[in-house]
Structure 1
Amino acid sequence: MSSTQKNNLYEASWDKFPTELLSKIKIMKKILFVIIASATLSSCGLYKNYQRPTDVKIPNNIYRDSSKLENITDADTTNFGNMPWREVFVDSRLQNLIEKAITNNTNLRQADLTIRQAEAGLKISRLAFLPSVSLSPQGTITSWDFSKATKTYSVPVQASWQIDAFGTLRNAKKQSEMSLMQTRAAKQATRTAIIASVANLYYTLEMLDAQLATTKATAELWDKNVAAMETMFKAGLTNSSAVSQAKANRLSILTTIPTMQASIQKVENSLCALLHESPYTIERGVLEDVKLPSSLSAGIPMQLLSNRPDVRSAELQMAYAFYGVLGARGAFYPKITLSGAASWTNSGGLGIVNPGKILASAVASLVQPLFAQGKLRANLDIAKAQQESATLSFEQKLLDAGNEVNEAIDNYNAAKLRVDGNKELVKELTKSVETTDFIFKNDNSVSYLETLTAQQSLLQAQLNLISAKLDKVQAVISLYQALGGGRD
């Protein structure tokens, strides 16, 4: 065959190529449809949506004896944790501090960045359903023994599309969705913890202020007591031992003041660190004016599933593992890929033509794993083990959440009893100080040391009362946090 005939044959077949290609593509599509339909029928389970397993153990008696506590009940479906944080913490100064922490705290800002990464990962998973397209133009200049150069060029566009017939891409996308939801739950848990920490530190400052003020007032009283004892000693009404004891008690009180002042600065520094600010004096109120909700409801146990971000995250991990098992099962099925390429080129394999022509091709491939050295079975076993582990973690997280609620309720009840008891103790010791002082001044049937001892006991009771009030406040904060509070 002459070169002219070859070129004519080449051009004739080249002109018919698009029509032949279309017919082949139609046949290929029919074959693939039959393959996909038959395989899909055998793999319907790969497209299941997550549902909480029926065998997950969710205890109904997760709260212990809460109905016996005053103003605390678990029968009401209204959950204390559902209250917006501004309704729980009504002090405007504290609200400003919490708002600063929510805006500036480093951990929260890092949580936002983690969410952005998870969102990008989900976007990648979604785009995996689309075909991939690439353009790679190229040109070649060839010369044989310095003869006239031959120039060839090609401008190819290639596309590849994986058909998700067995849920591989879908389950990977679902896992990305679960990861994104987990990062959001983690941010909410961080937010709740920061709100609770700011409130705890703020009220701790008010407690230290109250203890410092009480200690300073008692120290001033002991200044007067020492002066009175020295006057009595000069008058021969008491001995030097009593004077020394009074001075020792006064010094003992004075030495606690620097410790309290240092504690105040440390707490302020910690609070400023949460706010992502340099240390400064925190403006605050007084402990006696603290107003927190008087009626607390723990809510029904199942509400922990929706309110507690860590419990929600644990269940999302179960869902993530569930789709991981489906993905591992899908790996046993064929992988179907459609590929196509179109190129504008002057080199068709039979010679060089100018101007160039379009060269197109389409390929369908099906890859069925037959022997993968046990990797597919091992991956499935790993995915199942991860699912079981996630289920156990969820059950334990729910129990831990219930224990935290129980502990907060117990601490609240104990602190309330301590506050009531210390109030009565302060009341009685105040009477004792007044009585012994009156008897000493008018009857001399008691020594002045008995008056000093009564004052010392009163100071300790006052400090204990202040501490018990803080414990009560912090128990309310802990209960709010344990119930998943922190919403706007």
Structure 2
Amino acid sequence: MKIHSFKQILLLIGTSALLFSCGTSRQFQRSTVETEGLYGAVENTDSTTIATQPWEELFTDPFLKNSITEGLANNPDMQIAVQRVLEAEAYLTQGKAALLPGVSARASQNYTRNPESVYPNGPRDVTSYQLGLEASWEIDIWGKLRSSKRAAYANLLATDAGQKAVQTRLISTIAMYYYQLAALDAKLEITKQTVANNIDLVETMKVLKESGLVTGAAIVQSEAARYAAEVTLPDLDQQIRETENALSSLLGRVPGPVERGSLSEQEINSTLAAGIPAQLLDNRPDVMQAEFQVMQAYELTNNARAYFYPSLTLTASSGFGATELDELLDPSSFAANVIGGLAAPIFQKKANVTRLKVAETKQEAALQNLKSTLLQAGQEVNNALSLYDNSEKKMVLRDSQLEALKKSVEYTQELLSFGSATYTEVLNAQQSLLGAQLSQVNDQIQQLTAVVSLYRALGGGWR
């Protein structure tokens, strides 16, 4: 009869709770953020994008591929990101376990000495023993625990997206440092060749002086031009050393040389395609992370809202109790009880109101962060596309400039040998050629940087 009454009470509590729980937990809907026109003046209706191309296919240089592989395996920031994912997985496991009953074992010995005035004829010293299990289960009738579990899952997704963001950033940074090294190598070779040419020019000036075509000033000026070029070699060596050390740090190794190819060997195995802005939501890791953070904040708001409703808890205990140790496990010493309780918040010092208000403000902040991240992504895509287009234009013009300057150097040297040009014209022509050759290297590295920047801006590198 007592068990039957308890079942009726429990059924009544559960039915009432389920009726009241309707509408307390709301289903998350994906954020409707505006992506049209996100790339600015760049219009594109083709969904093809280089973001879906694996980095192993995008980059063709085997030395660069080896560096990226090494960096992904050993870079400390990458390893930290991986550990954060494992941490988020642990919190999700904890969130799932919160839906299950909590069970604990207990064993105790209790000694009591009663006052003689209360027990004049009975035993004053009493020892009791207890051994049993206790279980407590909060029935999630309002979705509070389920919301917490979904928030933990969203946090895992956001953390995983964050790890992907670290990976895309690491790949692009390694590639850019690698290209900078190749560019510095090219500048070093150009400068060394210029120094060699200037040494030859000094000897030519000495011969022309003997012929009376130039004065001693021409020799001195030629030597000065030689040293002006040669003095930049230590700076280039230092830049190479520092860039190698920076790249080594990214690769998770101590400072040292980095094996690499030449700038002329660098090619990008891809057609530049930005796709449509809406694809950023599924391709770019930091955008994905921001959206999952919106989901997490939404579920935490659901969780905070559930605190305004009563909580239903079932507590059960069973075990053995006796005053003699040898009677502890006797079947007659077994006892059990079950308690169902419904506790409703009445006065919580505004704790629940504050919790909900904070959760709602964090949810709105997460939404604004998503919008900000999207705007930043659109800006980076536009910048990278513009940089690539302008670098292509510069390279075409630079080729024409170099062709003209090479002819200028040849013509002035010939004219000088016939006394129809001055030594300053020769020096100016050579200096202009050196500047244009170094600028051409900058143009090449600018174009490579634009491709890598676009690849990262679109979310490439984590697939």
**Fold conserved between structures, TM > 0.5:** yes
Partner residue of 1:122 out of 78, 85, 92? 92
In structure 2, the partner of 1:467 is: 442
Structure 2 residue matching 1:161: 3-state secondary structure: strand
Maintained 8 Å contact 1:25/1:362: no
Give 1:128's aligned amino acid. A
In structure 2, the partner of 1:334 is: 310
Shift of 1:113: 1.1
- Structure 1, residues 287-310: CA drift from partner, whole Å, max 9, x if none? 112110352110111100001111
Partner residue of 2:12 out of 34, 45, 49? 34
CA distance in 1, matches of 2:277, 2:456: 15
Partner residue of 1:50 out of 18, 24, 28? 28
Give 1:134's aligned amino acid. S
In structure 2, the partner of 1:134 is: 104
Q: 1:407 to 1:140 in 2, by over 3 A?
A: same
In structure 2, the partner of 1:477 is: 452
Shift of 1:122: 0.7
Maintained 8 Å contact 1:341/1:360: yes
In structure 2, the partner of 1:325 is: 301
The gaps in structure 1 that reach 5 residues or longer are 1-22, 68-73
Structure 2 residue matching 1:311: 3-state secondary structure: helix
Structure 2 residue matching 1:297: 3-state secondary structure: coil
In structure 1, the partner of 2:244 is: 268
Q: 1:163 to 1:214 in 2, by over 3 A?
A: same
- Tell me, yes or no, if structure 1 residue 486 matches structure 2 residue 458: no
In structure 1, the partner of 2:120 is: none
Maintained 8 Å contact 2:61/2:265: no
123-132 or 281-290: bigger deviation: 281-290
- Tell me, yes or no, if structure 1 residue 167 matches structure 2 residue 137: no
- Tell me, yes or no, if structure 1 residue 87 matches structure 2 residue 62: no
Maintained 8 Å contact 2:107/2:132: yes
Match runs of 1:256-405 below 5 Å: 256-347=232-323, 357-405=333-381
TM-score by length of 2: 0.93
Shift of 1:115: 1.1
Partner residue of 1:456 out of 431, 437, 440? 431
Q: 1:43 to 1:142 in 2, by over 3 A?
A: closer
- Structure 1, residues 207-233: CA drift from partner, whole Å, max 9, x if none? 111111011001000001112223333
| Identical columns (%) | 35
TM-score by length of 1: 0.89
Q: 1:325 to 1:26 in 2, by over 3 A?
A: farther
Match runs of 1:142-161 below 5 Å: 150-161=126-137
CA distance in 2, matches of 1:353, 1:286: 82
Shift of 1:247: 1.4
Shift of 1:331: 0.5
Partner residue of 1:103 out of 51, 70, 73? 73
Give 1:163's aligned amino acid. I
In structure 1, the partner of 2:383 is: 407
Shift of 1:57: 3.7
Q: 1:322 to 1:145 in 2, by over 3 A?
A: closer
Shift of 1:347: 4.8
In structure 1, the partner of 2:160 is: 184
Give 2:6's aligned amino acid. M
Count of residues paired in the alignment: 455
Q: 1:110 to 1:372 in 2, by over 3 A?
A: same
